[in-house]
A and B are shown apart, each in its own frame.
Chain A
């Protein structure tokens, strides 16, 4: 800025307040516009992301519905609301998928797990975690096949007291240097399975069955 004499009105508080207010209005307008432009694409991206992760834990052969079409929200003791996505084949629920969260070494480990109608694990994937790179990140399927070891297991196989890492007397491998990470994931999956066993009837009830039940009562 050159050292020319500034017009006196620019020294007034009113001018400066107006200037700041003007810029705030301008900024707000730009942000509203930006939000309107990007709202749809962001929602679409998040939808696609969710669908991608669901497809990894529910094979496409066992359902003919849109997995995102009619999720149900259930209350899960100690966790709160859990959204359950249901895979249906000809109207019958063939599998459910929901998020489970483990207490990792450096923060929550968010996983998604798919369970078929007979209670067997179809797949578990880690969605987000903050574990130590190189040690704890072996829970990601891209880095280590460990997470696939849950496939096919259920709440009776192995028995509930075996749902722990080997160090704790259970049946699952842990990682050197990241026992807590493996333990967190095993616990989360076990919790998810125990919940499925307890609430099987609600989770697997197809829409029609729920309806008729209501009528009977």
Chain B
């Protein structure tokens, strides 16, 4: 079976995206995306866990028997998450204060266990790494987009406190898009997350339909759309 890296990338980022298509990991998604920076932080932590578990599970897939695979996967994922949690606490303390509660929840992020079960344990190391990276990036993409929408509508800023996450050199990312904005509380609270996610999902469907109809990206191969 020839593995197409392009296919994997497309799956992770769009076609089979953790949120858009699989509808997984909604709890951390809705909880942290009050700002784009928080989304970015959780996204990066998730990518780290996703890629590291892809590496470990695909390397060890030969010795793990089907009977005990689930506890072993969970053990590996939980260990990696705890390590990420410790490292963030040590070196990204301010961000950890914001995200702290949600980092341990990455363990229960069914997206990672789902990929471990359906991809990492059945494929060689390189495609697994690629898949882990792309699935993680796809999740990060949604986190940042949803965070940005809610932050702009909710408080009129974009990437506020980005310097806490990425260092002083990234302060230019911090923008106030709507000066003197009184804020729109609903968008910051969880209902705003559901509403914004709904609109984003709807937009994704519209784009998918346009692609299928060939009105945009007419050069994209039709056979990939038919699954």
Contacts and interface: CB of A to CB of B under 8 A. Distances in A.
Interface of A: 1, 6, 10-11, 15-16, 19-20, 23-24, 26-27, 30-31, 34-35, 37-38, 41-42, 45, 49, 132-135
A141 to B, nearest CB: 16
B87 A34 contact: yes
Contacts of A6: 65
Contacts of B86: 34-35, 37-38, 42
Contacts of A19: 63-65, 68, 72
Given A23-B72, A38-B89, A30 B65 contact: no
A26 B63 CA distance: 15
B90 A1 contact: no
Contacts of A133: 34, 185, 188-189
Contact of B79 (A16, A31, A45): A31
B75 A23 contact: yes
B1 to A, nearest CB: 11
A interface secondary structure, majority: helix
B75 A24 contact: yes
B204 interface: no
Given A27-B76, A31-B83, A20 B71 contact: yes
Interface residues of B, number: 28
Contacts of A27: 75-76, 78-79
Interface in B73-112: 75-76, 78-79, 82-83, 86-87, 89-91, 93
B67 interface: yes
17 contacts: A1-B121, A10-B65, A16-B65, A19-B72, A20-B72, A23-B72, A23-B76, A27-B75, A34-B82, A34-B87, A38-B89, A41-B90, A41-B91, A45-B89, A45-B93, A133-B188, A134-B188
B interface secondary structure, majority: helix
B157 to A, nearest CB: 13
Contacts of A134: 183, 185, 188
Nearest to A44: B90
B34 A31 contact: no
Contacts of B121: 1
B122 interface: yes
A19 to B, nearest CB: 6
Contacts of B188: 133-134
Contact of B90 (A15, A45, A132): A45
B66 interface: yes
Nearest to B88: A38
A174 to B, nearest CB: 18
A11 B66 CA distance: 10
Given A1-B61, A42-B89, A34 B83 contact: yes
A123 B226 CA distance: 65
Contacts of B61: 1
A38 B78 contact: no
Nearest to A133: B188
A20 B72 CA distance: 6
B60 to A, nearest CB: 8
Contacts of B189: 132-133
Contacts of B76: 23, 27
Contacts of B122: 1
Given A1-B121, A38-B86, 7 more contacts: A1-B61, A1-B66, A23-B72, A27-B78, A27-B79, A45-B89, A134-B185
